């Protein structure tokens, strides 16, 4: 394949307090990482780089092998860094072969539908980045301390999900720019846009939410129970 997906799973998960790094907390019998990888391996064949927390590479390897089935030769585990950006960089450094499109995916978005992963992979055109997004339903305000300073028109806003897709060369150059500038971005689309590139949006999914808190974990459990046969 000419497409790779970097699944970042090296976060500590302090807000979830699950007793293990977040990616290894169980949703049901399967971990957050395993569910994320089940979605990834159900998509079109692509190289899969799992970025694991230091000391948890073996556990990540087990989840990878279990999810990969016959595609085990497409997967690899590497060790992540102190920030998400460093973890993605470690993933980029581990790509092998003839890859021209790179997707970056949060393991924490464990229930992201395979259709979204395929749609992102199919939408990268060699120039622009691609970002799955959802409309914003909350009423948002701009604040300063405890004062509301402006209303925000939510029609102008959308919420970003992953996987985010990019042409490989331009993404690697943008990561190099960010490293030299010493700037930390909250997602890859922001880092890519800061390097002067266009980013397009496609439709995300309600199931692509990020598991951050215990309530998010309960929501994921409920969704799995509700969709069980
Ligand atoms: O902390 P948060 O949930 O926003 O992290 C988003 C994703 O980035 C998670 O899947 C997490 O495992 C990953 N991450 C990482 N390395 C870090 C921090 C976060 O791979 N140092």
Pocket test for ligand 1, best of 6, 7, 10, 33 (most atoms within 8 A of CB): 10
Given the cut 0.90, state whether the ipTM is greater than it. yes
pLDDT band at 16 (very low <50, low <70, confident <90, very high): confident
Tokens coding 132: 């799955």
* Predicted pLDDT at 229: 59
Report the DSSP beta bridge partners of residue 50: 7, 77
How many other CB atoms sit within 10 Å of the CB of residue 218? Answer: 12
How big is the chain, counted in residues?
229
Q: Which CATH number fits domain 3-226: 3.30.9.10, 3.90.550.10, 3.20.20.105, 3.30.365.10?
A: 3.90.550.10
Which residue CA neighbors atom 20 of ligand 1 most closely?
Answer: 10
pLDDT of the residue at 221? 97
Check residues 1 and 53 and name the one with the higher pLDDT.
Answer: 53
Q: Is 23 in the pocket of ligand 1 (CB under 6 A)?
A: yes
CA 51 to ligand 1 centroid distance, Å: 10
Nearest-atom index, ligand 1, CA of 7: 10
With a CB cutoff of 8 Å and minimum separation 6, the contacts of 130 are 120, 123, 124, 164, 165, 166, 199, 200, 201, 202
Cα–Cα distance for residue pair 97/52, rounded to 1 Å: 21
| Bridge pairing between strands 75-79 and 147-151 | unpaired
pTM of the model: 0.96
Q: Atom 5 of ligand 1 has which residue's CA nearest to it?
A: 11
63 lines ligand 1 (CB under 6 A): no
Confidence bin at 109 (pLDDT 50/70/90): very high
Give the integer Cα–Cα distance in Å for 182 and 188: 15
- For 174-223, write each residue's pLDDT tens digit: 999 999 999 999 899 999 999 999 999 999 999 999 999 999 999 999 99
Q: Evaluate: CB of 32 within 6 angstroms of ligand 1.
A: no
SS3 of residue 33 by DSSP:
helix
Domains of the chain by residue range: 3-226
Buried b (16+ CB within 10 A) or exposed e, 88-125: bbbbbebbeeebebbbbbbbbbbbbbeebbebbbebbe
Say which DSSP state 199 is in. E
DSSP classification of residue 103: E
Query: Which pLDDT score, from 0 to 100, does residue 228 have?
Result: 61
Q: Give the mean model confidence (pLDDT) for residues 65-79.
A: 98
pLDDT digits (tens, 9 = 90+) for 33-60: 999 999 999 999 999 999 999 999 999 9
Task: Give the Å distance between the CA of 102 and the centre of ligand 1.
Answer: 17
Per DSSP bridges, beta strands 101-106 and 164-167 are: antiparallel
For residues 128 and 19, the model is more confident at: 128
Residue 4 φ/ψ, nearest 5 degrees:
-125, 150
Give residue 207 CA to ligand 1 midpoint distance, Å. Answer: 18
- pLDDT tens profile 118-127: 999 999 998 9
- So what's the pLDDT on residue 18? 77
Q: Dump pLDDT digits (tens) for 124-154.
A: 998 999 999 999 988 999 999 999 999 999 8
Strand partners, 49: 6, 76
């Amino acid at each position: 394949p000419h497409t790779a997906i970097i699944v970042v799973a090296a976060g500590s998960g302090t807000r979830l307090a699950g007793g293990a790094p977040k990616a290894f907390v169980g949703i049901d019998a399967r971990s957050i990482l395993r569910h994320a990888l089940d979605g990834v391996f159900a998509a079109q064949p692509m190289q899969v780089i799992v970025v694991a927390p230091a000391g948890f590479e073996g556990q990540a390897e087990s989840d990878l092998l279990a999810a990969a089935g016959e595609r085990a030769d497409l997967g690899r585990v590497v060790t992540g860094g102190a920030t998400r950006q460093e973890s993605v960089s470690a993933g980029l450094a581990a790509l092998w072969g003839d890859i021209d499109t790179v997707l970056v995916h949060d393991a924490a978005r464990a229930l992201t539908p395979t259709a979204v992963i395929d749609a992102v992979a199919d939408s990268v055109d060699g120039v622009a980045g691609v970002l799955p997004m959802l409309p914003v339903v909350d009423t948002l305000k701009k604040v300063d301390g405890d004062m509301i300073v402006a209303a925000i028109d939510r029609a102008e806003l959308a919420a970003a999900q992953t996987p985010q897709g990019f042409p490989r060369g331009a993404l690697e150059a943008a990561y190099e720019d960010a490293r030299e500038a010493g700037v930390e971005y909250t997602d890859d689309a922001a880092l890519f846009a800061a390097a002067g590139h266009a980013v397009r949006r496609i439709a995300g999914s309600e199931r692509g939410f990020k598991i951050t808190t215990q309530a998010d974990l309960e929501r994921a459990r409920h969704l799995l129970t509700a969709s069980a046969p």
